[in-house]
Structure 1
């Protein structure tokens, strides 16, 4: 099978892709963590060269909660408006005593047809009812027409930095129900270097809903896990969800792809399901990994078992040049790259 044109965007961790009638919208963590950008392309492979537009910048240092470390924006269509969720911290981004970042979840909305040229309104912090480190909000509208939010947040009474929570929404920036914890880091593979579950993403197929998430430190140990529920179950009941005992997507040293995670999902024009994720192509990181910019956005096609379970395979070989690359060409020296996506 032909390889995919990877990476699709350089130096963008936490990639999020939304397919619309006008093409694919892409956003992700900007390397300087000071803005939110959007780019659009009719193909996934075209996102790399697509023009990037800054639609929001962090507040000036010292001016409040949205002034540092803008992380992991996602753009969604909620009813007739656009919504962007992101995490941001105050100028004192790290609480040394608590050994944790001080991020909270925030929301922007846009009522114009084009989210790139339209006007964005700050809706402020999404109040989750818990004043602790929180980030990585994602959303979906269920078959009952109701909007749900899933995110990662710390509970100081539970070991670790973040667990996964769900709530139903009254509007894009207001919870309607109390948060319910879906999952916490308790398996060995979720507790390497850091005890964390974060980066939830929703995938629906047939009569089931899947929520992937990322766990452990952000080096080669970073991996993707999965929760599963029946679509007709009470999604606010933790008992409706089952966690896979092993990670479903992990590093692959044979193609020099390390720490795949913080993924999103989209589809090809002909309806095939796609996972979009970030990876590094080396493990020798100098300095703080948080400020190493070379987590690139990749994509992969999802296969489905007969019982409707997704199979994500392995991270793909980089078929395009990447900074500090250590990728090796196949023995024949050529890459058969599928540029149709």
Structure 2
């Protein structure tokens, strides 16, 4: 029986939570800050201690122009000896027919402690289409660095699809982009047609990509993709997709719209932990993106006999 218990929420009012457990023994945490004008990072030796850890603002939105508005979903990674934060940003007042116009960016820090070092802008991460894009994540496999992100293709109905590409370096893509998934099932198309918020975890001979779908209110859910580790990850046919959501609202536990997750390990390194945001109630009025009640939660999960993740229910 698992005895690991987390005092949820582990951080309040932080949507899109990303946790990176580093070799120095610290958990590094970032997420969307209400107001969407800054990127902050905090660290602690345990997940429960993140709640009271002092957040440090490592980057602020520009006053105008590029990267000046709606700073969304930062992720912190340690890649090839340096720290990187990937995030999406828009320009002040920049909407087109009320549609967001985000692009993706990266900042870099070469200090041992990213809360103390200088962060340098590496610019926009440009993809195969100049269109709305967000929610980038990176992972390494067989000495190659991969980038997975969400983007709008004007030729495909809906709001965002998931793509994968190899990287020349941690801020530049190379080669072609492969379409991984589009919103196709009913549970991916409630409110908005969305596939976003990818996170990668490996187990056995498989690579898994979790993602989030539908509107960011109580209809937000998580889906799952997987491929075999020896397959060509840039071949769309290598990837398989679960037909049902793998994590969804649990009204009995007052956790609604779980998603935009990350993965980490328990303090003893023995268990896999799902980090996700959820709301304590349904969104009552207004744009759910303006409601800061998405809190970060941590939950141990298990694996079945075929090495597929079993997330259970939020709060389970």
TM-score by length of 1: 0.90
**Rg comparison, structure with higher value:** 1
SS of residue matched to 1:105: strand
Give the drift of 1:100.
1.9
Contact 1:109–1:121 (Cα < 8 Å) also in 2 = yes
| Alignment match of 1:183 (pick from 181, 184, 192) | 181
Partner of 2:202: 204
Partner of 1:248: 246
Partner of 1:120: 119
Partner of 2:83: 82
For the residues of structure 2 that align with 1:213 and 1:158, how far apart are their CA atoms?
A: 19
Contact 2:206–2:226 (Cα < 8 Å) also in 1 = yes
For the residues of structure 2 that align with 1:126 and 1:4, how far apart are their CA atoms?
A: 35
Contact 1:94–1:100 (Cα < 8 Å) also in 2 = yes
Partner of 2:221: 223
Q: 1:284 to 1:36 in 2, by over 3 A?
A: closer
Give a deviation string over 1:180-239, Cα, whole Å, max 9, x none. 111100111100110010000001111100000000011111000000100111000010
Contact 1:189–1:216 (Cα < 8 Å) also in 2 = yes
For the residues of structure 1 that align with 2:104 and 2:216, how far apart are their CA atoms?
A: 20
Give the drift of 1:284.
4.1
SS of residue matched to 1:46: helix
For the residues of structure 1 that align with 2:81 and 2:125, how far apart are their CA atoms?
A: 20
Partner of 1:33: 36
For the residues of structure 1 that align with 2:102 and 2:241, how far apart are their CA atoms?
A: 26
Contact 1:212–1:225 (Cα < 8 Å) also in 2 = yes
Larger RCO (alpha carbons 8 Å, 6+ apart):
1
CA RMSD of aligned residues (A): 1.1
Give a deviation string over 1:145-196, Cα, whole Å, max 9, x none. 1110000000011110100000000011110112111110011110011001
Contact 2:162–2:180 (Cα < 8 Å) also in 1 = yes
For the residues of structure 1 that align with 2:28 and 2:243, how far apart are their CA atoms?
A: 33
Contact 1:304–1:311 (Cα < 8 Å) also in 2 = yes
Structure 1: stretches of 5+ with no match in the other structure: 318-341
Bigger shift: 244-253 or 86-95? 86-95
For the residues of structure 2 that align with 1:101 and 1:83, how far apart are their CA atoms?
A: 24
Q: Is it true that 1:298 corresponds to 2:297 in the alignment?
A: yes
| Alignment match of 1:49 (pick from 31, 47, 52) | 52
Give the drift of 1:94.
1.9
Partner of 1:14: 16
Between the two proteins, the alignment pairs up a number of residues equal to: 312
Partner of 1:141: 140
SS of residue matched to 1:217: coil
Give a deviation string over 1:37-90, Cα, whole Å, max 9, x none. 000000000000001000000000xx3220000000001111011111000001
SS of residue matched to 1:164: strand
Partner of 1:257: 255
Give the drift of 1:4.
2.6
SS of residue matched to 2:176: coil
Partner of 2:232: 234
For the residues of structure 1 that align with 2:67 and 2:291, how far apart are their CA atoms?
A: 22
Q: Which runs of 4+ in 1 moved over 3 A?
A: none
Q: Please list, as runs of the form range in 1=range in 2, the aligned pairs for 1:273-284 lying within 5 A after superposition.
A: 273-284=272-283
Give a deviation string over 1:259-309, Cα, whole Å, max 9, x none. 000000000132210000000011142322111001000011111101101
Structure 2: stretches of 5+ with no match in the other structure: none
Contact 2:211–2:260 (Cα < 8 Å) also in 1 = yes
Contact 2:86–2:105 (Cα < 8 Å) also in 1 = yes
Partner of 1:73: 74
SS of residue matched to 2:92: coil
Contact 2:217–2:283 (Cα < 8 Å) also in 1 = no
TM-score by length of 2: 0.97
For the residues of structure 2 that align with 1:215 and 1:47, how far apart are their CA atoms?
A: 27
